[in-house]
Amino acid sequence: MALFKKRTVGKPGEWYYCLDHKKVEEGPECPGKDRFGPYASREEATHAMESARERNLEWDTDPRWHDSDTGETPDPGPR
């Protein structure tokens, strides 16, 4: 018996952005490795690449995740 079943039909209201076909899909049509999501709306899925670019830029410019030129590790703040 399989522990995880592969969903062949998507749930209504789950939206994905397919990286391979460059299109928005309702429910998982393409393999998970080729998509972003799920999103709550078609509109959110439509802007998936824009959202990813914004998050990547935030990550790339976040000083907490970059070593300083002095060789010291920055204080990550309260835990």
pLDDT in tens, 32-67: 999 999 999 999 999 999 999 999 999 999 988 776
User: What span, in angstroms and rounded, lies between the C-alpha atoms of 77 and 64?
Assistant: 9
* 17 bridge partner residues: 24, 36
Strands 15-18 and 35-39: antiparallel
Indicate the pTM of the whole model.
0.65
51 SS3 class: helix
Residue 36 lies in a domain: yes
CA distance 9 to 51: 26
CB–CB of 47/69 below 8 Å?
no
Does residue 21 lie within any of the structural domains?
A: yes
Asked if the structure places residue 72 within a domain, the reply is no
Range of the domain at 55: 15-60
Count of domains for the chain: 1
